Structure 1
Amino acid sequence: MTKVDGEPAYNPPIKLGSVRKQLQRVTNVDGLGKHEYTGFIDTLRALLNFYDETLARNQRMKNQLVKHRELFQQAKEDKKTLKVLYDFLQKLDSTPLRRGILLGYDNDEAHVSIYGSNEQLQVAINPSLNKDELVSGREVLLDPKTGALMRVYGYPETGMSARVKDVQGNRLMVSNFLGNGEQVVYYVGKSEAKVGDTILLDRTGIFATEVLPREDRKELYLEDVPNITWDSIGGLEKETEQLKELIELPYLYPDVYSEYNLTPTKGVLLHGPPGCGKTLCIKALVNELFSLRKDGRPPPVVVFFDEADSLFGVRGTGVHVEGGGGSTMSDTIVPQALAILDGVEELNRLYKNIEYTNGNNTRPFFYNVSGPEILSKWVGESEQMLRDIYSRAREKSNIVITILATNRPDRIDPAVLREGRIDKKVEIPRPNEDGARSIFSVYIPDGLPVAESELKLLGSNGHWHEYAVNHLVEHLFKDSEPLAIVEYRDGRKKELFHRDLISGSKIYSIVNRAKVYAIKRKIHGEEHGLRYDDFVRGINDSYSEEVDILLSGLPQKWSQILGKEGDLIVRITPTEKYSTSQRPSDRPYRRLSV
C-alpha cells in the first residue's frame, strides 16, 4: 500500500487467503481442538481491528480530499483576481481612450471629421463599422493606438441650453441664457425647432440635438377666460364705464370707428392703490368682451401685466445685470417691450380688416402675466418671455390688447406710456363712502344668516342689512379715531385714518373675518348668525395688522400700502389704541436715513 498525505503504508497482519482456509476447515470438520479454535478467534479479532483502522484511515483521506478541493477553488478565485489586477495594470500602462463628436462623413471617403480635445481631427474609419451610424452630432470613440474611429454612440443627453431666435431649415440662430452672444448651430435630424424654443446644444456648441419642453413658461402666466362679472364689482361705476368705452366699443362696432378714422385703443394702464379692484376690473372686462363677441368674429387676446412697474421700470433705476457694463434689467426689457408694442400697434391698426373665422373653432384667451416672476428669470430670459407671450397671442387672434396694472405709475418708463403704445390711463381710486357702501352690499348679500337677537331689534333681514352697511361705512369714514401719525420728509405730520387705507380687498377681508367669528360661535354652541359687532371686530383686527406692517419700517411696504406717498414718509407712530392692544407701548420705531 502506497503512502498518501503523510499516512504510512499499512500491511495487514493476516493474509486473507489464510483466513479463508481456516474458515473452510471450521466448516468441514466436526470438532476442533482448543488450539485451532483459539487461533481462529485471534484471526477474526485481527481482521476487525484492521477493518476499524481502515475506516479511520479512509475518513482521514476523505477530509484531506475536501480540504484540497477547497484550496483548489480558492486558487481558481485567486487566479481570477490576479487576472483582473493584471488587466487593470495593463490599462494603466495603455493610452487613454478618446471621445469626440462626429462632424461630417462622405460615403466616398475612408475618413471622417470629428471634434475632440478642442481641435478638429480627420481620422480613419474602422472597416467593421456600420456606415449608416456615421451621423453628424453623434459621440464617437477613437482607437488609442491607431487613432481610428472604432465605435459610434448616440447623441449627447447633456449640454448647454439656448434660445432659438431665427430658423432657416436646419440652421438655427440662437442666443444663450447668459445673454452674452449669438451663434448659428445645426439641428441634427429633421428640425422641429421654432422661434422661442429652448434647444439642447452638444458640448461643441455646433449641433442642436433636442427641443426642450416649455412647461416651465406656462407657470408664469394664466391662459384662461375669467368668470368675474361687472356685478361682482362695487363702487367703480365710472371707471368700469371708461374701460367699456376704451375696449368694448371698438371691438363691437369696428365699422363705426373705421368710418370716423379712429384707431382703437391697443393699450391701457390701470393705476391706483393696492386692493382697489384693478385686477377685478380687467377680469370682468375680459369676460364681458368674450361673451359679447359676434358670431364668426375671432375673440381678442388680452395680455394683462400685473405689477407692471417691476417689469417696465424706468431705465437706469432697476436691478443691475451682472457683467452688463452698468446696465439694468429695465435697460434690456423695456426696449424689447417697446418693439413688441409697436408691432401690436400695426397689427391692431383697423379692426375692420380682421379676417373672421368660424366662431365654433375659436376660443378666447386671457394672459394674466406676473411681472415680478418673469423678472426673476435668467438674464435674457425675461425678454424672450415677452416675445413668446405675444407670439402665442398672435397665434390665437389678430386682436391683441395690452393692459398694465400698477400702484406706482411713476415707476414705469415714460416711453412705454407714450401715445400709440399704452396711451390710455384709468385710475382706480380708493372707494368713497358710496363706493364702500356698494362694495359692502356685494359681499353681504341678503341671504346670509343673521343673529336672532339682532333681528328682534331691527325687524327683518333687509333692515339689518341696511343698518349694518350704513353704520360700517360711517365707522370707516369718521375722523374721530386716527390709526397713526405719519411724519414726512418736509416735517409735515398727518393723521392716518381708516379711510386712508380703505380698499375693496380690505372690505372683503373685514366681511370674511366677521363670517369666521360667527362660524366659531356656532361651532361652540352659541348664538347662530352674524352680528354687527362681528364686523367691527373684523375692522379692528384687519387694521391692526395693516398698522403692524407699516410699523415694520420698510419703505417698500409703505409704498405698497400708501402708493407714491410712501416714498415721502420717514416715520409712522401708532395711536394709543393700536400701540397697546397687541403691541407694547415702548416698542422702538426705526427712522429712515434720508
Structure 2
Amino acid sequence: MTDSPSNASHPAAENGTDQRAAQLATAHRQVAIVREEKRNLDRQLATAGQQNQKLRTALEGAREQITKLKKALEHDLALPLSVGTLIRVIPAGNSAGTKDISTDVMVSGRNVRCAVSPLVPQGALEPGRQILVDEHSVVVAVLGYEATGELANVREVVDGTRVVTVGRSDEERVLRMSGTLRKNPPQPGQTVSIDHRTGFALEVVKRTGMEELVLEEVPNVRYQDIGGLGAEIEAIKDAVELPFVHPDLYRQHKLTPPKGILLYGPPGNGKTMIAKAVARSLAERAAEKSGREQAKGYFLNIKGPELLDKYVGETERQIRQIFTRAREQAEAGIPVVVFFDEMDSLFRTRGSGVSSDVETTIVPQLLTEIDGVEKLDNVIIVGATNREDMIDPAVLRPGRLDVKIRIDRPDAAGAREIFALYLTPDLPLQQEEIIAAGSREAAVEALIDAGVATMYAQTDATRFLEITYKAGERETLWFSDFASGAVIRNIVDRAKKQAIKGLLTRQVRGISMEHVRQAVAQEFMEQQDLPDTSDPDDWARISGRRGDTIADLRIVMHRGTRPEENTGGRQA
C-alpha cells in the first residue's frame, strides 16, 4: 500500500522529459536553419564581392578606353590629313599576329599599310572608297566614292572581286570591283566608271544615250496591227521567217539566208512597225521551236541621228558594241533584230560631199560587222529609209542587205484596212448613224467609206502638185498622193477629238460621218506646211519619188475654196 503514491507520479515525470526533448529538437532545427541562412548570406556576400571586382575591372577598362579614345580623338583632329583610296581590309588576328584590323591604302600613288581609328565604323570600310589618313598613317574617316572618272564597258565578271572592262580604245583591263559592285555585280555590256590610278571599277553608270536606246524586249506589235501592206508583209515573211523556220530546206537547196532587208519608201507608212512585227514574229517562232511558253527575243532599235557622235571613232565603237550584243544574244538561241532607222543618215554614199564625210569610216565598220554575222542564224538586220538612193551601194549589194522592199503609200483599199484598225464598233457612235446604217458594224463601215471617199476624191479642191519629168511626162499629184498610215491615224484621232468636243458643248454623243469628213479636210489643209520650196529633191523626199527624174514643179495651193496657183514655189 505504501508504494502506490510513487507509482502514480511516474507518468507525469515521463511527460516532462518528452517535452524537454521536443523543445531541444526544435532548438536544434532552428539553429540549423540559422546556420544555413548564414551560409547563404556568406555565399551572397562572396558573389557580391566577385561582382564588385568585375565591376571594378570593367570600370578600369572603361577608363582606359576613354583615355584611348581621347588620345585617338586628339590624333584625329591633328592636321594635315591625306586623302587616299582603300584597297583592302586586313581583318584582326591575321598571320602577322595583329589584334586590330588594318588596311592597305593608296596615298599619293603609294600603297601604305594603315591602322584604323576606333572611331571609324568597320562596316564603312569598303574597297574603292576614299578615306582620310592622318600623319601617323591612321585611317580617321571614310568618305564616299570618287564621283568622276573614265567610262568603260563590262566584258565579263571574273570572280566576286574582279571584272574585265573594255575602254574607248578597245583596250581590255582587269579591274577590282568596288564594295558597291561586289554587292550588286554588273552585267556584261553595262557601263561603269573606272579609276585607272587605283585600278578600281567604281559604280554602274546608267546612260541616257545608246544603252537605253538600243536594247528593247520583244515589241508588242504583230502583223495584224498593220493595214494595207499585205503583199509587202508576205514578201518579208518569205525573206525572214522561211530560213528561220526551215533551215534544213535552205541547206538542202544550198541557199544562204539573207543577212538583212531594206524597207524604203515615203515616211509614215509603217516601216518601223513592220520591223517590230518581224521581231515579234521571230520570237514567237523561236518559242514554238524550243517549246517555250513565252516568246523571247530582242529588238535593237538604232536611230541613225542619235548614234552619230562628234568624237572620232565613237560612232564606230558603238556600232561594234551593237553587234557584240546581238551576237551574245544570238548564241543563246534568241532571235535578234537589229533595226537601223533613218539609215541614210548613217551610211550615206562615200565621197558624195553631202555631209562631213564621216561615212568614210562608219560605212566600212558596218560592212565589217555585216560580213561577220555570216555564222549567226538568229540575227537579221533591218534598215529603214526614205531615201534609198543616198545609201552607199556597198551596203545594199547582194550578200549584205539582200532583200529590198518598197513600203509605198496606201491606195484606197489599203486606206480602208488602216481606217478599220482605228475605227471599231466599240467606239462611241452617234445614234443617228447607227439607226441609218442598221447596226454598229454597218455604221463603222459607213464612216470608213466616207473617210476613204473624201481622201481619194480627185477634184480641183484636192489637186496639189504638177510634176514634169525629164522624159517629158507630166503627172498631177492629189492630196491622196501624200496620204500615209500616220496621216490616216491622225485623221481618226481628229474625228474622235471633235466627237468629244461635241459631247461637251452640245451634249451630242458619238462620232459621226461629218466628223470624219471634217477631219480629212483639216488634215489636208495642213499639207500647206510642206516645204516652201521648188527643189525637186525636197519634194522627192516627201512624195517618195526620185529627185533626179523631176525637171519642173508646179505647186497648186488651196485655201478654203479659193485655189491659188504659184509656179516654181509657194508664195505667202
Counterpart among 371, 395, 411 of residue 432 in structure 1: 411
Larger radius of gyration: 1
Indicate yes or no: 2:497 matched with 1:480: no
Using the TM superposition, give the Cα deviation of residue 539 of structure 1 relative to its aligned residue in structure 2, in angstroms: 1.1
Indicate yes or no: 2:300 matched with 1:310: no
Distance 1:159 1:237 in 2: 53
Using the TM superposition, give the Cα deviation of residue 197 of structure 1 relative to its aligned residue in structure 2, in angstroms: 2.6
| TM-score, normalising length: structure 2 | 0.59
The superposition leaves residues 200-254 of structure 1 with CA deviations (integer Å, 9 ceiling, x where unpaired) of 4348352224445689877435744444443433221101111221223333333
Indicate yes or no: 2:153 matched with 1:164: yes
The amino acid that maps onto 1:98 is S
Indicate yes or no: 2:402 matched with 1:423: yes
The superposition leaves residues 294-351 of structure 1 with CA deviations (integer Å, 9 ceiling, x where unpaired) of 36345562425365x4367xxxxx6642xx3xx6x6555456657777x589x68xxx
Change (3 A) 1:499 1:135: closer
Distance 2:535 2:82 in 1: 59
Counterpart among 96, 101, 105 of residue 85 in structure 2: 101
The amino acid that maps onto 1:187 is M
Matches within 5 A, 1:521-536: 521-525=502-506, 529-536=510-517
Partner of 2:288: 294
Change (3 A) 1:418 1:183: farther
Change (3 A) 1:558 1:186: farther
Partner of 2:109: 120
Distance 1:100 1:272 in 2: 60
Distance 1:238 1:296 in 2: 29
Secondary structure class of the residue paired with 1:516: helix
Secondary structure class of the residue paired with 2:109: strand
- Asked whether the 8 Å contact 1:305–1:404 carries over to 2, the reply is no
Indicate yes or no: 2:181 matched with 1:185: no
Matches within 5 A, 1:379-458: 399-445=378-424, 451=430
Tell me: higher relative CO, structure 1 or 2? Use CA pairs within 8 A at least 6 residues apart: 1
The superposition leaves residues 75-129 of structure 1 with CA deviations (integer Å, 9 ceiling, x where unpaired) of xxxxxxxxxxxxxxx99xx86322223568997699997544xx43466756978
The amino acid that maps onto 1:481 is A
Distance 1:109 1:413 in 2: 71
Change (3 A) 1:441 1:281: same
Counterpart among 517, 522, 525 of residue 541 in structure 1: 522
Partner of 1:315: none
Indicate yes or no: 2:148 matched with 1:153: no
Partner of 1:576: 558
- Asked whether the 8 Å contact 1:221–1:370 carries over to 2, the reply is no
- Asked whether the 8 Å contact 2:415–2:452 carries over to 1, the reply is yes
The superposition leaves residues 448-507 of structure 1 with CA deviations (integer Å, 9 ceiling, x where unpaired) of 6665666777777676655654554343332533464579999x9975521221111211
Q: How many residues align?
A: 448
Partner of 1:41: none
Using the TM superposition, give the Cα deviation of residue 429 of structure 1 relative to its aligned residue in structure 2, in angstroms: 0.8
Secondary structure class of the residue paired with 1:220: helix
Distance 1:339 1:398 in 2: 15
Partner of 1:43: none
Counterpart among 224, 249, 253 of residue 260 in structure 1: 253
Distance 1:561 1:281 in 2: 20
The amino acid that maps onto 1:158 is A
Change (3 A) 1:545 1:556: farther
Change (3 A) 1:142 1:123: same
Partner of 2:65: none
Distance 1:140 1:517 in 2: 65
Distance 2:96 2:299 in 1: 56
- Asked whether the 8 Å contact 1:334–1:416 carries over to 2, the reply is no
Distance 2:281 2:111 in 1: 67
Change (3 A) 1:125 1:304: closer
- Asked whether the 8 Å contact 1:228–1:287 carries over to 2, the reply is yes
The superposition leaves residues 381-407 of structure 1 with CA deviations (integer Å, 9 ceiling, x where unpaired) of xx9xx99xx9xxx9xx98343433333
Matches within 5 A, 1:465-476: 469-470=448-449, 472-476=451-455
The superposition leaves residues 20-48 of structure 1 with CA deviations (integer Å, 9 ceiling, x where unpaired) of xxxxxxxxxxxxxxxxxxxxxxxxxxxxx
Matches within 5 A, 1:185-204: 185-188=175-178, 192-202=185-195, 204=197
Change (3 A) 1:262 1:370: closer
Distance 1:251 1:435 in 2: 29
Distance 1:282 1:412 in 2: 19
Partner of 1:64: none
Distance 2:496 2:127 in 1: 68
Using the TM superposition, give the Cα deviation of residue 409 of structure 1 relative to its aligned residue in structure 2, in angstroms: 3.3
Using the TM superposition, give the Cα deviation of residue 428 of structure 1 relative to its aligned residue in structure 2, in angstroms: 1.2
Partner of 2:35: none
Using the TM superposition, give the Cα deviation of residue 538 of structure 1 relative to its aligned residue in structure 2, in angstroms: 0.8
Distance 2:400 2:222 in 1: 27
Partner of 1:78: none
Change (3 A) 1:332 1:505: same
The amino acid that maps onto 2:236 is L
Using the TM superposition, give the Cα deviation of residue 427 of structure 1 relative to its aligned residue in structure 2, in angstroms: 1.7
Change (3 A) 1:398 1:285: closer
The superposition leaves residues 502-526 of structure 1 with CA deviations (integer Å, 9 ceiling, x where unpaired) of 1112112212322332343344446
Which residues of structure 1 form unaligned runs of 5+? 1-89, 313-317, 349-353, 356-362, 376-382
Using the TM superposition, give the Cα deviation of residue 260 of structure 1 relative to its aligned residue in structure 2, in angstroms: 2.5
Which residues of structure 2 form unaligned runs of 5+? 1-73, 347-361
Using the TM superposition, give the Cα deviation of residue 431 of structure 1 relative to its aligned residue in structure 2, in angstroms: 0.9
Distance 1:550 1:451 in 2: 38
Secondary structure class of the residue paired with 1:270: strand
The amino acid that maps onto 1:275 is G
- Asked whether the 8 Å contact 1:311–1:371 carries over to 2, the reply is no
The superposition leaves residues 395-443 of structure 1 with CA deviations (integer Å, 9 ceiling, x where unpaired) of xx98343433333334545555454444322221111232223333444
Distance 1:451 1:104 in 2: 75
Secondary structure class of the residue paired with 1:294: helix
Counterpart among 501, 517, 525 of residue 482 in structure 2: 501
Secondary structure class of the residue paired with 2:383: strand
- Asked whether the 8 Å contact 1:223–1:365 carries over to 2, the reply is no
Secondary structure class of the residue paired with 1:163: strand
Using the TM superposition, give the Cα deviation of residue 171 of structure 1 relative to its aligned residue in structure 2, in angstroms: 5.2
Change (3 A) 1:173 1:115: same
Matches within 5 A, 1:226-305: 226-291=219-284, 293-294=287-288, 296-297=290-291, 301-305=297-301
Secondary structure class of the residue paired with 2:85: strand
| TM-score, normalising length: structure 1 | 0.57
Partner of 1:63: none
The amino acid that maps onto 1:294 is E
Distance 1:319 1:572 in 2: 40
- Asked whether the 8 Å contact 2:540–2:546 carries over to 1, the reply is yes
Using the TM superposition, give the Cα deviation of residue 163 of structure 1 relative to its aligned residue in structure 2, in angstroms: 1.8
